[in-house]
Structure formats: structure tokens, C-alpha cells
Amino acid sequence: MKINIFSSLAILSVAFLLGSTSCRKYLEMPAQTSFNEDSVFARYQNAERLLFDLYQFQGRALATALNSKMGLSSVSTITDEAICFTAQNGYTSNNVYAGSVNSTWFTVNGTNGEDVYDNHWKTIRKALILKDNIDRVPDAPADVKGRIKGECAAMLALEYFEMFKRYGGVPIVKKALNDAEDFIIPRAPLDSVYRHIISLCDEAIANPNFPAKVPDEKEFGRLTKAFAYGLKARTMLYAASPLFNTDKAYQDFGANNKLICFMKYDRNLWADAAKAAREAITYCEQNGYGIVKSFGPTKNYKVACEDIPKAGNTEVMFGTFQGINQSRNYWTGRGTNMGGFAATEPTQNHVEKYQNTDGTTVNWNTTITTPANDPTFPYKKLDPRFHLSVAYNGCLWVTTNPTYSLEIYDGVDASVANGRNGPISARTQFAYFARKWLNGFESTGVWTPMSPYMRLAEMYLILAEASNEANGPREEAFAALDVIRTRSGMPTVSRSLDQNGLRKFIENERSIELYLENHRYFDVKRLLIGDVFKGPIYDVKVVKQKNATFTYTKYKYHDRAWFVHWYLHPFPYNEVNKGYGLIQNPGW
Amino acid sequence: MVRYSPQIKNVINMKMFKKYFSFPFAAVVLLLQTHAQAQQTGLSRDSAVQASDEMQVIAYGELPKRSVTGTVSSISGKDLEKNTVFSLGNALFGKIAGLVVTANSGEPGNDLPSFALRGVTTFGFARAPLVLVDGFIRDLNAVSVFDVDKISVLKDAASTALYGIQGANGVILVTTKSGKAGKSSLDVDVSTGFQSPTRLPQFYASADYAKMYNQALANDRLPALFSAADLAGYAEGDRRLYPNVDWMNETIRQDAPITSINLSSSGGNKVAHYYVSLGYLKNTGIYKNTDLNDGYSTNSSLDRLNFRSNIDVSILNDITLKLNLGGQLNDINAPRMATADIWNRLYDYPTHLFPVYAQPGLLGGTAAFPDNPAGYINNRGYKETHNRFFQSDLDLKYDASKLLKGLAIGARVGFDNYYTVTDGWSKTFAVYQTVKDSLTGKPIIGAPIGNNTNLAYNSPFSDAQNRRGTAEIYLHYRKSFGADHLIDWLALYNQTRQILGRENPYNMQSLNTRVHYAYKNRLFADLSVSYGGTEAFAKDQRFGLFPALALGFVLIDTKDKKSAQAINYLKLRSSAGMVGSSNVGSRFAFRELYVGGPSYFFGNTNAAASTITEGLVANPDMTFEQSYQYDLGMDLRLFNNLDLSLVLFQQDRKNILTSQSTTVPALFGASLPNVNMGEVRNRGIEMSLLWTKQFKHAGFFARLNMSLIKDKVMYMAEEVAPEGSEYFYRTGSPVFYTYGLQAIGFFESATDIAQSPLQIFGPVQPGDIKYQDRNKDGIVNNYDVGPIGNGSIPTKEFGLDLGFNVEGFDFQVMIQAQVDRNINLANYGNIFFPLRSNQKISTFVQNPWTPANMATAAYPRLSTLENANNYRTSSFWLRNGDFIKLRSLEMGYNFPIALLEKTGLSAARFYVRAMNMFTLDKFKYADPENISGYPTMRSVNMGFKIQL
């Protein structure tokens, strides 16, 4: 009996052993499913795709992208440039107007805020991995690898600049992190971050394989050496500006003041910025870039801002073609022939920044009554850039047959029909609609926008501003402005302006030239003139009278909140709460 | 207070009732008057008390009920047959204490319910119990309800330990019927009836809508849209110009037919016995006018043909062979457009913009609303899904008693194939807008919007050949030693490979053993151990050892004493063990992986450049979830007719995957893998009570199943909230507890807003929801989100079966109740957030806020725009979802044998059955189980069953 038990047990054990040994590999994963870092850098074809991925967040953050910022309104609407449809409370710009901005949403993942803090670090990691490993690729020539390294350096500079202008000093990560112990990196002083950006720009500039322009139009949208020059000038302009270039922080931060300003005023920073702008302009113009001026004064500006290089835009230093058949609804107004969401609409404040082509300005302080049936009377002589940027009552919206003119007015009483795009018919709020980005796409419904991040025009504006600050109102500054103005049919700048007058003039000119390009919000902050965001924000009431004249009456729409601690962004609340020592900016 | 829902009135449309049932009823009445004595009752009375010598199916085998030490509940096929269902899962409502079954969509071919065994035990990926049919992992719904012999539900670690790495969520074992030696018999069961939605969401008609829309515009400080003339027109005007379309009524029917036919035969002799069956089901959907197209229907429907052949053969006395084959052919027809899109249009499409038909044959519509729902269902083509399910298993067992008495050695293989493919034929349709002629004021029809196209074939999609192969070898030894000792030992090696489409194969391997020991048939002990692994994890994390120990002791059994005691039987049992769950939702996390990213656009021509991006960082330590389970149970029989089974349990689930992103700094820059750090504790009581009484000519029974279960998150990685916001954390609350803002009414005025804490979700106006600033920091933001009520999975569930028979007549009902559950209306914004993205206004909206009624308002102000402040989860949107449902009701009559003798039949039965007949609940507006999408069905049918 016992023998039987043991023998059968033995048989069984052998059977199990056989079973399990023959199946030892049964649980192994098939080898071909593993595609890791080594596999990526084993072929250039793969490494190149990693490079393309580097741009993922960049392109989507540009002005015309459906960029999910501010709850699908745009960053422009939290400046005096524009306003969003205030009845639509999904537009988080409304929260900014009301003063309810905090670290739980303004820079956190999601669609509500102005920035997504995490995304900067994702791109930085990608750029570091690519830069440190590209030499491993066996099947690519050295110059191709060199170019990618230059691109990575420029991308790193760009990401640090984007954080620098928003947060001040941030941690500096120099190698892709892998070990948990390495994650604890404190915020670097503002000065170190500044120097880090400049050194990255210099690295890209010194790279012999980094081209000035993309060699093939198919690569439009990739970073170039011209961009590295431009970013260096832009970074220096921000560094020289009053927000950072001061011995007194905008809000006292005690021992941490060095995280939010340089803690000394250095006038030479302006001279550095002027020099960098000069170099950028020289380099660009020697390498095939140039201010767009061959399309005539009423079109040059449109080509410079909205067209692709193939269509004659020689000015864009970095920009992205955002793809065909996009929805333009977030740029168009509500109502007939628009059908949009009125997410971004120009303010009267912005309209008043434009001069007439003879250098005079329109007086909006009294009601303007037009001649009969001449609704565009107040706007007729304005800067051509106005007509390309703002849609207004009576303007020809659809220029091709059948044409369509906007009727943004209400009738004075029931006997006068309301305009079809006016507040009553279209159930909308403001008298202006955005036109920039939509020129040529008014009637199509589909939209194929190009979005510039940096244009040569900005270099001239930097040169003018930095030169004026460093050396006073000299010819170099005036001449730089004239380049921008004359190509749009505007008169040259009066040489009689003093330094302060010119400073104001340049601020105004930047606001016009760089309209809706995501500059205004940061310009106001770096210049420490945040009170302009308080408003009042004006609109104009357009009424058609019984005698077919129109009255334009400027009225205050609202005041907005502004707080000193808003000069820098908050780090995301949950990031600070991870407890690794990230110091929150003051006031948040 | 629970009241009857108003819909109940519509349950039985008398006209239809007469149409279908008047004749059979008359026949029944006649028969009742003339019948002789009943020979059998239709009642089924499964007891949860484990007392008898009847065999209980357990993991890889069976044991007499009396000697089972783990917590196992079972239900017989006879009981399940009392349900007219198209998926087996729908027959299990309330039948097993602790198995919470919740109905979903009633769409033909897509009506699987969801299960939670012993409530919520994890916040990890997989929560559904493992299902095995005849010992092999299979889809529960691939078995016909007629072919089920019994279903056992294994609830504690002692019963599930042999399923080791897959056992943590509990196990459902389905055993199909097999033949018995004896005369062959043929059973025929035929039934037919009709079904209709339990409830459909309703929306305001045009006149009310227009008024409310103007109010909403006024609230938005925008001019009104509808003039006084419009309002009058919608109230009673030319419906061509002022339409008022009830889309539900236009597209949904209330009398969709259902049919079921099942034939089965069984029998056998000493050498072999067999059970074979053939079944056919037809389940028709509820869309209207689906037969307007030539040659095809656009209705949703299921045609199922299923067969089973189970054969047992004895070869050479000591070898037995068991071969089970089963298969299903499902042809599912449906409108071409996705079900969810159809129902969203039924909810969204305005009543007031256009009529169903602009003129006969021309569908109405506008450029903004081109998907006229009647056309969207019937004029966009159709699609057919074909499922082919084949199951086969073979068990070869050698009785090795010659070698060692009581020893058996065997091998089993199972092979299943599941093929599914969908073919589509699509087309588009034109709609026509009716406008008022500005001169004559008469309606004129505009140019077509869209095109009428011909059917075009779409190449097959969702095309997959899924298969699973299992091989097992086992050794079973059962022997008594003397009068007092019995040992039952099982050792088994199992390996499984499952292939799902083009995914990497899913492989499992395990070595399992169980030793069962009985002392004097009174004291029982079981030790079960499984050592199993899966391919999903790194080499050193792949295998786990899963042990469980259980003890049972029969204290009282009056069979021994033969004295008339109050307590006839008492057994106590207890178990402890650990089982795992390897389905954590992530495989091969141990490797570093680069994956394709979204395309990016370069160049002037919009060329999309494909990208590669770093995937999740590797987690070489990822492993299975572990569940530590403890059970304490009691089986009691009183007065020979009252059975009580009571179980207390606790489960501690560990190693649940939880995120690291709340702790690792963003500057790391990569996406982080989850880590095995979460823990959930779950405790509960399960009770089953059965009371039976049988008299000479009549009998009755009542069975109550009840479970009270509460779970609690012990650890979960969470974002750190500001001090004073401790309520923010989910740790300490049940897994699916609803978290949201606490609504404290509506803002009354601008002053009220100014004086209240700032709400950051969007600018507020009077009439918007006012929230409590829980942490009193002066602003209401996401950190004021806290626990506001139960989730949708109930903590208390009750199932009540009642039945009686008088002579040949029997009656049985099944009532299920789920208590302590909530419905979060914010999850169904397409119904409950009026006018958002041009939606309609549901009749759930009563008394919305206006300046005039602010004291009594019951809904926030209407708005034509997005309202991020109001439309987010808060206590305002959380509604009581408790319900009591009459799941099934059957009345049957068994014809007396005397009457049948001449016909050659050995049994005949006639029955009338109703499913989901009524619901008692507080929600009332929609079915509390299934709020939006294709509705849950109720049905009424009649049938007969004969045996030859």
C-alpha cells in the first residue's frame, strides 16, 4: 500500500516537473515587442521622429493654435488688446477680470490656464535625451547630427525662456533625470537661469551645422540659427526690462528676492540687448530674411504675419503652419456669416492705439456721427494694419463675390432695422471682431492658418527699445521704427520725441505691430505697467439713426482686476505641495 | 417616501395585452376549472445552507455540501429558467447574496449587466469576478440559460485559492447540463412576447421650450429669441411653421417582439449518456419605421442560434471520457450610426425647429441640425455584427484504483474560439428646411441640405479571432481511513493561453493543490495552495504563492438524534487566505518603451510628420494585487423549514496600482508608471434565508438574500490639499464614494454674491449654485471638493424570491432592491444640463430659478451658454438612486398527468412571465440603473414547455 502511494506520487512529480520545465519559457514576452531608447537611436529614421516630437507642445502653444489656453479664449483677452464674450463663463479670462486667479488652475494641466508648467519639463527632457544620444545613431552623417544638437540647444533655450518670463528663477536640469534622488533640484536664481538661456543660445549660434534657414520648405516649423539669434535678443530685452533689472523686487520676497529679480540695476543689459538685436538683424538679413515690403502697404503686414514663406513671407523666424481645415470659430464673432464663439474680440482701447496714415489720431471722446450711409467714416484713414487686424461696422468682411459687409449696429428704435451682426440680432456684446489670422478665410469656414512665434519686425522693435534705453532717443531707434511703419504706409516717427516719449511710442507700436501674437501680456509685465490691465476697458456703441447716419459712442464696458503679485505666474499648487522644496512666488 | 412611478400605468397597455394574451388566458381558466391533481410544481428552492449530501461544485471538483468549508452559494438552472433573458447574467439579479448585479443597456446583443461580487474590493483595473464554464475560463453570456445545470459562486479565499493569481475578485462557476442514465427525453420550451423600454427621458414641448429659452436668454442678459407671435404659434399654430416633435415618440416603439425556442434531449445507459440542445432566440429592438427600406431593416436586433452537446462515455470500466461542445451564432443587426450618437440626438434634437417630414417623403432638418433622428436611425444604412462562439472541452480520467485505491489521474483540455466581425452599409440623407414665405406667410420648403446617397459597403471592422486554449493534468485521491477519517486530495497543473486579436498572447501557468480532511463527517479542514504566474510582469515578480486554510464544524445535526428540536442543523465555518489579481490593466511595465506620439505638422503643405515619444517609465517591480480574505460563516436550519446562512467577511486588498504623479516633481519630465501601493479594506455581512412549507395540495417558499458591504480606501496616492481640507482625501472613504462640492442653494442677488466666498469656476449670477467653502479660506475651488454621498454601487442589496403553488398552478416572483446608491446627474449632462450646446430641456427641470421665484426655485437659472459653475459634480446633482425592482414574475400551470396520458407527453406546462415589470424608486425620471443611452427593457411573454 505505502509503496503504491509513493510510486504514484513519484510518477506525478515527474509529470509535473516535465510539464513545468518544458514550459519554462511559457511566460516570456515575445522579444520583438520591446522598442526602447536603444531601438530609437539605432536608426536615424526613428531618431528623427523623436526630434519631431520635440515640437509637440511648442506648435500648439502659438497664438492661432486651438491652444486650449484660458478656457479657449486667448491670452490676448487678459490684456487691454482684447476681451472675450463675457457671458460665456467657460472662458476663464472672465476669472482674470474678476480677480480670481490662483495657483490651482492658472498654470496647471488642463485647458483653463495661461500655461502648463509640466509641459516645459517634458520638452526639456525630450531635448536632453535627444541631444545626449544623437551621436549614437549609426546611419546619419555628422552634419545632420550636428544640426539636431543645435536644434535641441535652441529648444532648451526656448523652454527656459518661456519659464523665465513667467516664473522667474526655475530649477535648471542639465541631464535627463533618472534617479529619484536627482529630482530634488531647487529654483536657481534668476541670474543663473538668464545666463543658462544665453549660453544655450550661444551654443546653438556657434554650431556650424545649424542652418540659418530651413534648407527645404518642407521643414518650415523647425528651429534655426536665426531663431537662436532672435531668442538671445528677446531674452536680453526681458532681462534688461524693469521687472527683472532692478534692485527692488516687484514684491518683497526676503531672502528669495534673487529668484524674482537681479537685485541690481544694470544699464548695460540694455546695451547688450541692443547689440544682440543688431546682430540678429544683420545675421538674418545676410541669410535670406528680410522685412516684407513688396506687397504694397495694405498687404505687407498680412503677408508678414499670416502667410507661409512660400507665399512671400521672408520675415518669420519661427512659426508653424497649423494645418488645414481648422475650426476658426474661436476667432470669429457670433451671428450671421460668423457663427463663431466670440472668444477674442478687440477692445476700443486697442483701436485707439492706431494712428491715421497722416499721423493724426481719431478723437473718440465725443460721440462721432457719420454722414448718412457711411458707417466706416471714423476708420477710413486709420493705419492699414488696423484694417488687417480688426473687423468693424461697415467693413467689407467677405471680399469675394458675393461680398458681405458687417452690420455691427442696432437701430435707434423699432423703425430702424437692427444690423445683422449687431448686439441685438447676433446676441453679442462688442462692436469689434478679430480680423488678424482670418484674412482670406472670411467666408470659407475652414481655415489654414500660419502662426508666427518670432518675426524680424520684432527684432527692429527690440533694437528701438533697447537702443532708446541704453543711449537715449537717437537715430538708430527712430530708424528701426521707421522700417516697421513705412512698409505699412505709415509716416516716419517724429525725431522730436524725448526718451520717455519714445518709450511710450515704442510700447504703443509693439502693441499694434505684434497684435494678437501673445506679446502684450508679457510686455506689460516686464515693463512693470500692470495697471493698464485694470482698464477701464472700453467698447463703442454703434447706433443707426433714422436719417441713415451712424453714431459711435465710446462707453466703459468694465474695470478689471490686477494685483502686484500677478507680475509672475504661480507654480501649480499641487507641484508646490509635493513637498520637495519648490518655493512658490510671492503672493500666491 | 417611495411611491409608485407614474410610468407604471403604461406597463401593460391593455389593448396589446388583449391582443397577445386573451386567448391563452381563457384557456388557462378553463383548465384550472377542470384539472386533476398536480404532479409537479414549477418552484425552485435553492438553499444557501450547506447541509445536505448533495454535491456542491467547487474549484476543480465537487464535494458534498455538508463538508464544504468555504463560502459558496449556488443556484440551479431550474431557477434561472424562470427568466426571459438574452444574456445569462441578466438572470442573476439578487439571486446570490453578495453578488451585486446592475442592468445596463437593453440593446439587443449588447445587454450585459455589470457584476460586483462582495461590493467594491479594489480601485484597480479589474473588478469583475472570474467566470468559468465547465471548468474553463469563458464568457458567462456565451451559455444559454437553458443549458445551465447550476451556477456556483465562490466568494472567499478558501474557495478561490486554486485560481490563485486570478481569484481575488471571486469566481463564478457555471456547470452545463449532462445526461442521466435512463429513458431518453425531449424537452421543448417555446415562448413569445413583447418588450418596451422601462422608462424614457422626456423633454419639454416646443411651447414650453420657447418660453424657457427666452427666460434663459434673459438670464444671460441677451435679447429674447422668440417673439410673442412665435410663442403663440408654438402653443397652437401651423405645425409646419411651428413644429412640436416628440422625437422619442416618433422613433421608439413600445411593442418590440421577442421569441425563444429551445429543444433539448438527454438520456443514456451505463456506457454513455448525453445532453444535447438547440436553441433559437430573437430579440427585436425598439426603433420605429425600420422596415421602410427595401431588403433590409435598420432595427436593432439579435438572432441567436446556440447548441450544446455534452457526452459522457465510460471506456474499459476505469476510463471515463467527457466531451462538451457548445456554440453560438449571433447575428446582430443595428442602425449604421453608433447607438450613443443616436440617443444623444434623441436628447439634443430640438422639438421646435422642424417637423419629422417637411412633406411626405422629405425629412425635415436645418443646416445646423441635419441629423433628423428619424432619418439618422433609418436612412443612414445598417450594420451587422456576426459573433461565432465555439467552446470545446475534453476530460479524460483514469480511475487508478488498481494502483492505489481512491486515486484518479486525468487530463483536460479546452479550446474556445470567438470570432467577431462587423459589416456596414452606409448612406446619407437630405433634409429640408421649412420656412415662412415673407409675402404670403405660408410655409415653403427650401433646397435640400445634404444628399440622398445609395447604400455603400464599408469594409469589415472590429474583425477579431480570439481564442483560448487550456491544458490541465491532475491527480485526485479520495479515501476514507477507518470510520472517522477521510482525505480528499487534488493536485493540478494548469496552463492557459489566450489570444485577443493582435495583442501579445496572455499566458498563465499554475500548480495547485488542495487537501480536504474530514473527521467523523463533522469536522472538516481544507488547505489549498496555488503557485501561479503570468507573463505580464518581470521575471522575479511573475509568480505568487496563494495559500488558504478553512475549517468547518457541524455542531448540530438532528439526523443523528432523531429528536424534535427547534434547531435541526448548525454548522460553523471559518477561512483565511490570500488570492491575487494579475489583471492590473498594465502588462510588460518592466520594460522601457518608446511609443508613437501624435503627428506634428511641418512645412508649407501640411505634411504630417509622425513622431516617437518616450512612453511610461519602466516599473520593473510591478506585480499582481493581493487580497487577504477572512470569512466566518454559520449555516442553520430551524423547525425543518427555515434555513439561515450567515457570513461575515473582511477583505484587505493590497498592491493596488496607484499613481506617483502626485509626489514626483514635474521637472522629471517623463510620464510615470503606477506603483503597487494602494490598499482597500472591505467588510460585510451576507445572509440568506429560506422558508419553505409544503402541504398536500399546495406549498410556498420565500427566500431572502441580503448583503451589507462597506469598503474603505486605506491608501491611495493623492494630491496634497491645503491644511484644513482633510475632507478632500479619498483615503478613508469608499472607493466609489462621490466627491463634489456641497451646494447650499442658489445665489439670490448681487449682494449675496459679493458677500459670499469667491467661486472660481466662472463668474456667477443670481440663480447660480452657491457652494460651501468647506475649508473656510474665502474661495470656493477644487479643494472644497469633498465626500457628498454614495456612489452608484450600492452598499446594501436585497433579493427576495417568493413563490407558491396550489395544485398544478404556481406563481413565483423575484424582487431585487439596491439601497444606498446615488445617481450623479453631472455624468449625464446631455439630459440634465438644459440648453447646453443647444440641448433640449428635460422635464426633470422643474421650477428653474428666476428672480420672481427665488424662494422656491428647484433648479439653477437656465442659461443658453456653458456654465462651468453650475455644471460640475456637486450635491445638487447627486440624487437618490435606490430602487426596488420586480425582476421577474411567472405564473404557470402544469397539466395533470392524467390529462396528458393520452397525448404521449410526460409533462406539459404553460406559463406567463413578465420581466422588469415595475420599479419603485425616488428618482422616477429615468431608469435608476441606466439613465442614458439605449434603455433597459421590460418584457411580457407567454410560453409552454412540454416533455416527451
Tens digits of residue pLDDT in A31-62: 656 788 888 899 999 999 999 999 888 765 56
Place of cell 422643474: B846
Model confidence pLDDT, tens digit, residues A367-377: 999 999 999 99
Q: Give residue B27's pLDDT.
A: 43
Q: How many angstroms separate the CA of residue B867 from the nearest CA in chain A?
A: 6
pLDDT band at B23 (very low <50, low <70, confident <90, very high): very low
Q: Give residue B26's pLDDT.
A: 46
Closest by Cα among B748, B703, B742 to B725: B742
**A26 in B contact zone (CB under 8 Å):** yes
The residue-averaged pLDDT of B724-732 equals: 91
pLDDT band at B560 (very low <50, low <70, confident <90, very high): low
Q: Give residue A16's pLDDT.
A: 54
Number of inter-chain CB pairs under 8 A, A vs B: 226
Model confidence pLDDT, tens digit, residues B181-223: 888 889 999 999 999 999 999 999 999 999 999 999 888 888 8
pLDDT band at A135 (very low <50, low <70, confident <90, very high): very high
Percent of chain A surpassing pLDDT 90: 62
Contact A321 B603 (CB under 8 A): yes
A3's CB contacts (< 8 A; 6+ apart) are none
A387 contacts A371 by C-beta, under 8 angstroms: no
Cα–Cα distance, B807 to B39 (Å, whole number): 8
Q: Give residue A468's pLDDT.
A: 96
Amino acid making up residue A43: R
Q: Give residue A440's pLDDT.
A: 84
Amino acid making up residue A116: V
A69 contacts A109 by C-beta, under 8 angstroms: no
End-to-end CA, chain A:
83
Closest by Cα among B614, B712, B714 to B658: B714
Residue B140 CB neighbours (<10 A): 20
Q: For chain A, give me the number of helices (H) and strands (E)?
A: 18, 14
| B68, B492, B508, B533, B701 from A24: Cα distances, Å | 35, 17, 12, 11, 55
Give me chain B's average pLDDT, please: 87
pLDDT band at A67 (very low <50, low <70, confident <90, very high): low
Which chain B residues touch A26 with a CB distance below 8 Å?
495, 507, 509, 535
pTM: 0.83
Q: Is the pLDDT of residue A446 over 60?
A: yes
**B601 in A contact zone (CB under 8 Å):** yes
pLDDT band at B655 (very low <50, low <70, confident <90, very high): very high
pLDDT band at A267 (very low <50, low <70, confident <90, very high): very high
Cα–Cα distance, A321 to A134 (Å, whole number): 27
Q: Give the best residue of B663, B668, B753 to mutate against chain A (max A CB count within 10 A).
A: B668
Closest by Cα among B241, B246, B240 to B205: B246
pLDDT band at B559 (very low <50, low <70, confident <90, very high): low
Q: Is the pLDDT of residue A179 over 80?
A: no
Q: Which of residues 206-225 of A touch B (CB under 8 A)?
A: 217-222
Closest by Cα among B793, B795, B791, B848 to B824: B791
**A50 in B contact zone (CB under 8 Å):** yes
Q: Give residue B29's pLDDT.
A: 41
How buried is B282 (Cβ within 10 angstroms: 0-12 exposed, 13-18 middle, 19+ buried)? Answer: middle
Q: Give residue B4's pLDDT.
A: 35
Closest by Cα among B172, B45, B65, B46 to B633: B65
B107 contacts B934 by C-beta, under 8 angstroms: yes
Residue A208 cell numbers, joined: 556650424
Q: Is the pLDDT of residue A20 over 60?
A: no
Q: Is the pLDDT of residue B39 over 80?
A: no
Counted residue by residue, chain A has a size of 588
A399's CB contacts (< 8 A; 6+ apart) are A442
Cα–Cα distance, B481 to B479 (Å, whole number): 6
Percent of chain A surpassing pLDDT 70: 91
Which chain A residues touch B766 with a CB distance below 8 Å?
none
Cα–Cα distance, B897 to B703 (Å, whole number): 29
Model confidence pLDDT, tens digit, residues B788-826: 999 988 999 999 999 988 888 889 999 999 999 999 999
Q: Is the pLDDT of residue B35 over 50?
A: no
A187 contacts A251 by C-beta, under 8 angstroms: no
3-class SS of residue A268: helix
The residue-averaged pLDDT of B322-347 equals: 93
Higher confidence at residue B865 or residue B413? B413
Percent of chain B surpassing pLDDT 70: 94
Residue A121 CA from chain centroid, whole number: 18
Nearest-by-Cβ selection for B668 from A46, A183, A321: A183
The residue-averaged pLDDT of B386-411 equals: 91
Model confidence pLDDT, tens digit, residues B915-948: 999 899 999 899 999 999 999 999 999 999 998 8
Amino acid making up residue B619: N
Q: Please tell me whether the peptide bond between B673 and the residue prior to it is cis, using omega within 30 degrees of 0.
A: no
Q: Give residue B564's pLDDT.
A: 64
Cα–Cα distance, A148 to A157 (Å, whole number): 14
Report ipTM for this prediction: 0.83
Which residues on adjacent β-strands are paired with residue A411? A544
Cα–Cα distance, A528 to A431 (Å, whole number): 30
The residue-averaged pLDDT of B430-435 equals: 88
Q: Give residue B9's pLDDT.
A: 38
Q: For the packed helices A117-133 and A44-53, what is the interaxial angle rounded to 10 degrees?
A: 160
How buried is A216 (Cβ within 10 angstroms: 0-12 exposed, 13-18 middle, 19+ buried)? Answer: exposed
Which chain B residues touch A424 with a CB distance below 8 Å?
223
Backbone angles phi, psi at B261, to 5 degrees: -130, 130
Model confidence pLDDT, tens digit, residues B247-265: 999 999 999 999 999 999 9
Model confidence pLDDT, tens digit, residues A518-537: 899 999 999 999 999 998 99
Determine how β-strand A410-411 pairs with β-strand A537-544: parallel
Nearest-by-Cβ selection for B491 from A12, A98, A183: A12
Place of cell 509685465: A525
Closest by Cα among A390, A397, A419 to A541: A419
Q: Give the best residue of A18, A45, A100, A307 to mutate against chain B (max B CB count within 10 A).
A: A100
Place of cell 500655461: A115
Q: Give the best residue of A26, A175, A184 to mutate against chain B (max B CB count within 10 A).
A: A26
Buried b (16+ CB within 10 A) or exposed e, A551-574: bbebeebeebebeeebbbbbbbbb
Residue A259 cell numbers, joined: 529668484
**A118 in B contact zone (CB under 8 Å):** yes
Model confidence pLDDT, tens digit, residues A556-582: 999 998 999 999 999 998 888 887 889
Place of cell 441635419: B370
Place of cell 499613481: B659
Contact B602 A15 (CB under 8 A): no
Q: Is the pLDDT of residue B694 over 60?
A: yes
A172 contacts A154 by C-beta, under 8 angstroms: no
Q: Give residue B600's pLDDT.
A: 83
